[in-house]
Homo-oligomer: A and B are copies of this chain.
Amino acid sequence: MQMDERKRKILRAIVQDYIATAEPIGSRTIARKFDLGVSSATIRNEMADLEDLGFIEQPYTSAGRIPSDAGYRYFVDCLMDPKVLNTEEKEFIERESTKRIHEIQEVITHTSKLLSELTNLTSLVLGPHKAKSTFGKLHFLPYQPGQVIMVIVKENGAVENHIIEVGENQTAEELQQVAEVFNQKMRGYSLNQVKRSMLHEIYSELSRQRLLIDNTLDMLRAILDDSEEDERICLGGTLNMLNQPEFKDLGKVKTLFKVFEENEPLKKLLHPHQEGLNVTIGGENMMKEFKDCSVISATYKVNGLTIGAVGVLGPTRMDYAKVIAIVDFMTRSLTEVLTKRRR
């Protein structure tokens, strides 16, 4: 059995209606609501075919039909009219995107907020990949007797600092010298690469400055070890999920929100390594907690390099055309802002 134009029209009608109402729809209602020029009986026959093809399903005997995951997939791939944001919407996003761009963290949280507000769904934003950011420079700043502030500047502009212990009689020159060795060895290397032999090299070269080196290395190691784990997903609009009729059940809410507290599962949803825009529908993402959810995700770049991803999570019954348009435009806008910011 093949899809023909009429089947396509009916499937589109079912998906659109279900997205709008969240109610199963029957043949009679389709005939009434959508002007397809055929009777409900004909639609009924076609719907039986669509069910055989796996595009729609019945929650129970003699309820209306709802789209299956495959139905949504066909809709997204073949039936949907791709939406383009109008200039007003575009301008709004661009205006908002350029508002707070000083701190990278601010950009992330603001993007997340914006996404969830525009879609009324839950947004996921993954900040720049730390491991990919390369070591720029190490500074020591005087703080208190026996303590200095260690500032690590990465080449992507991120700055981290920690207070570390040094000998009481450490002079500024010695500190300067130590920093210099680190800077020469490590500049331009990613934090992952630094991990290996390099540290030992530094250690042997500066064996006199035991305490300082030890503490610096400890701190660096802490930062390196964190770097993977520290890629926290920024979540926005989680409460929007509570407004979705599919989450009127408290048990579902509980399991969903439990996953929201973990980072790794959320990261998986985003496909940060899969460049460009991705649509994952229902069971397509392997985690059973999200089998009733879809994710629209896309990556963003800085200077041509993919460094992070944003996404929108909602029930499979979501307005794909709209959300795809928003996510797509958002990542472009983000890429632009971040690239401009870095100069």
Q: Which residues of A contact B (CB under 8 A)?
A: 102-103, 137, 139, 141, 143-144, 149, 151, 153, 157, 159, 161-163, 219, 222, 238-239, 242, 248, 250, 253-254, 257-258, 261, 343
Contact = CB atoms under 8 A, between A and B. Distances in A.
A139 B142 CA distance: 10
A242 B222 contact: no
A249 to B, nearest CB: 8
Contact of A253 (B144, B153, B242): B242
| Copies of the protein in its oligomer | 2
Nearest to A164: B102
What's the dominant secondary structure at chain A's contact region? mixed
Contact of A250 (B103, B149, B253, B258): B253
A250 B222 CA distance: 42
A142 to B, nearest CB: 8
Given A161-B159, A253-B253, A257-B239, A143 B149 contact: no
Nearest to A239: B257
A50 B300 CA distance: 65
Contacts of A219: 102
B239 A261 contact: yes
A102 B258 contact: no
Given A159-B161, A253-B250, A258-B239, A141 B149 contact: no
A163 B144 CA distance: 24
Contacts of A139: 141
A151 B153 contact: no
